[in-house]
Amino acid sequence: MVEKSYIKCLYIFIAIAFAVSILYISSSFESVFAQKNDKEDKEDKDKLTVKANINLKNVDMKNTKFIRVIGFINGEEVKQDIPISSIDKTKNKLDVELKVNKKNDIVEADTPDEFFVCAYQVGDVKKNYNSLVKFDCNEGDILSTSKPTPARLFQLGSQVYEKTQAVYGANVNNTGSGSNIDKVKIKILAPLADKKDTEKLVIAVMIKGQIQSQVIEDVQAELDKSDSSTIQRTFTFDRDTDIGRIQIGDRYHACVASDDLSPPEGQECEKRVVKHFDKSNSLPAR
């Protein structure tokens, strides 16, 4: 009898110990999970989001291998390559969240700072190397620093690609367009007559899914050496890119960002199309 009571007590003890262990593991898991969620929430609060809304009805799903989404938001470059194989073919829309820091050492995001986002439908690069990659771009204003700002791409009625095609078509047989030149130069101008006290800024330019940027650490020192109130930088791109060859008519975007430019905007952007290979293409970015 004593032995049976002992065994019964032992079973009860084991059961209690097992239950306590389960509760401990569960509470530990919940604690770690809660800490992780708190960390993610804090990171999200520190991020500025632009949501690219891509209309898949206007994407060549058969001949496209991946979609390159690229932009310049709040002084930072963002880029994502999205394989077509990863996209749900039953959907008509693809949402791509582009996140950057709300505050960095150049600029702190605010409305209505400008940005741009472009998307390229990249197919067989070798086969289509000398043709235009179908693309669309959206240049807009940050609408909120707490909620995503939408950027709609490949929407019905967009004429971005058509305008590029028109310029390309008008120059494709023009032997004076520098078709054999393997570089393209883009000169970006940042007029600061209204912001002569600017201390630090970044200039960025994007073409054919490639971004180059440069930070001017001491704007005042550069202005002191010049009679002009304009900061300028020339960026040189290889015409051969990983998504095709840069052509006459290809669209390029440029942005200038600095806290000292606000108001009106901490980042300002402009756009044009390439018209020359034998000389620089220039663009005032603010």
Distance separating alpha carbons of residues 91 and 150, to the nearest angstrom = 18
In the chain, the N- to C-terminal Cα span, in Å, equals 94
pLDDT band at 284 (very low <50, low <70, confident <90, very high): very high
Chosen domain end from 44, 60, 76: 44
**Continuous segment of H or E residues that includes residue 93:** strand 93-101
1-12 tens-digit pLDDT: 545 555 655 556
Give percent above pLDDT 90 in the chain: 77
pLDDT, residue 268, reads 98
220-253 tens-digit pLDDT: 999 999 889 999 999 999 999 999 999 999 999 9
Range of 81's domain?
Answer: 46-284
SS (H, E, C) 195-214: CCCCCCEEEEEEECCEEEEE
Q: What is the dihedral of CA 21, 25, 30, 36, to 10 degrees?
A: 160
Locate 282 and state its tokens.
């220039």
Do residues 151 and 219 share a domain? Answer: yes
Do residues 89 and 120 share a domain? Answer: yes
Do residues 118 and 199 share a domain? Answer: yes
pLDDT, residue 171, reads 86
Is the pTM higher than 0.85? The answer reads no
Do residues 39 and 61 share a domain? Answer: no
Question: Which residues lie below 8 Å from residue 103, measured CB to CB, with a gap of 6+?
Answer: 46, 109
161-207 tens-digit pLDDT: 999 999 999 987 764 445 679 999 999 999 999 999 999 999 999 99
pLDDT, residue 43, reads 62
Do residues 78 and 136 share a domain? Answer: yes
Mean of the pLDDT values across residues 101-116?
Answer: 97
Residue 201's nearest CA partner among 176, 218, 177, 184 is 218
pLDDT band at 100 (very low <50, low <70, confident <90, very high): very high
Do residues 120 and 92 share a domain? Answer: yes
Do residues 54 and 16 share a domain? Answer: no
| From 30-34, 64-68, 182-186, the region with the lowest mean pLDDT | 30-34
Q: What share of the chain is helix, strand, coil (3-state, %, to 5)?
A: 25, 40, 35
Res 35 pLDDT > 60: no
Query: Based on the structure, what is the number of domains in the chain?
Result: 2
Sign for the CA dihedral angle at 182, 249, 53, 38 comes to positive
Do residues 200 and 69 share a domain? Answer: yes
Mean of the pLDDT values across residues 132-137?
Answer: 96
Q: Which residue has the higher pLDDT, 4 or 61?
A: 61
Chosen domain end from 44, 63, 79: 44
- Residues 164/273, Cβ–Cβ less than 8 Å: yes
pLDDT, residue 128, reads 87
Mean of the pLDDT values across residues 120-143?
Answer: 94
Residue 70's nearest CA partner among 256, 210, 257, 243 is 210
Distance separating alpha carbons of residues 120 and 128, to the nearest angstrom = 13
Q: CB-based burial of residue 107 (10 Å sphere; 0-12 exposed, 13-18 middle, 19+ buried)?
A: buried
Do residues 100 and 221 share a domain? Answer: yes
Do residues 20 and 110 share a domain? Answer: no
pLDDT, residue 19, reads 58
Residue 99: strand pairing partners: 49
3-state secondary structure of 274: coil
Do residues 19 and 55 share a domain? Answer: no
Do residues 101 and 198 share a domain? Answer: yes
Mean of the pLDDT values across residues 56-71?
Answer: 97
pLDDT band at 269 (very low <50, low <70, confident <90, very high): very high
